[in-house]
Amino acid sequence: MRVKEPSTTIIFIRHGSTDFPEDRVYKGDNGPNLNTEGRLQAERLGGWIREGDISAIFVSPTTRTIETATPIVKTLKLEYKILDDLKERGFGIWEGLTFREIEDQYPDGLEKWKRDPINYTPQDGESIIDLQKRVSDVVQHAIQEHRGEKVVMVTHMGPIRVAIAMALQIPLTNYRHVQIHPGSATRIDYGITAANLIYLSAIPGGNRP
C-alpha cells in the first residue's frame, strides 16, 4: 500500500476575465483591468477560499491579478506578496499583436516558433524553457518556506500550465493542451517523492480549497 506523504499545497488561481481580445498577445505592462464578469469571478473566489486555511498569498504584479487577489486577501485577512516570477510569459516584440499581425510582420520568427515552440524566443521575450525556470524557482521557494502548509498563487494561464506540466512530468511540448479558465483554481499537492494534481481549473462552487 502507498503511504500518504506529507505535502505542501499550492492553489494556483488564474486571474478573472478581462475585455482584452483573445486573439491578441498580452502586453508586458500592467495590462487590462478585470471586466464585470472578472470582478464577479474574483468575489466568488474570495468567498470560496475562506475555509482553505491558507498561510500565504503570492501575486503576479499585474492589475488583473492584483484585482483578482483583493477579495481573497480581504477574506483571509492576509497580506499578499508580489512576485515577478509569477508574470505571464514575455513575448517581446510580439506583445500586443494578433497572430495574424505576427504572421505579417515577423513571418520567419513565427515559422521558427511553430517548428520549435519550446525553445524559440521572440526578440526581447522569453522561451517556454525560460518560463519553466522561473515558475520552478517560485514553486520551490514556496515549498521550502511553507512546508506542509497551503499557499495561494494568483497568476496567469502560462505559469499554471507550466507548473502542471512539471508536476505531472508532461512533456513541455504538450503544455498548451491544458486549458485554464479565467477565475478558476488549480490545486497541486507537492509531496516528498511526487506531486499530485488534486483539481484542475475548478470554478468556485465545486471542490473546496
The verdict on residue 207 lying in a domain is no
Q: What is the DSSP string of 144-172?
A: HHTTTSEEEEEE-HHHHHHHHHHHHT--G
- Residue 175 belongs to a domain: yes
| Among 85, 35, 93, residue whose Cα is nearest residue 60 | 85
Q: pLDDT-based confidence at 157, cuts 50/70/90?
A: very high
pLDDT exceeds cutoff 80 at 162: yes
Q: What is the pLDDT of residue 2?
A: 54
Instruction: Please give the tally of structural domains in the chain.
Output: 1
Percentage above 70 pLDDT, the chain: 94
Catalytic residue among 43, 88, 126, 156: 88
Residue 15 falls in the annotated catalytic set: yes
Closest CA to 57 of 76, 41, 85: 76
Residues 180-206: pLDDT tens digits?
Answer: 999 999 999 999 889 999 999 999 875
Indicate which CATH number applies to the domain containing 106: 3.40.50.1240
On the question of pLDDT at 34 being above 60, the answer is yes
37/209: higher pLDDT = 37
Q: Please tell me which residue in 15, 43, 67, 156 is annotated as part of the active site.
A: 15
pLDDT in tens, 93-138: 999 899 899 999 999 999 999 999 999 999 999 999 999 999 999 9
Task: Classify residue 209: in a domain, yes or no.
Answer: no
Residue 158 structural domain: 8-202
pLDDT computed for residue 1 by the predictor: 42
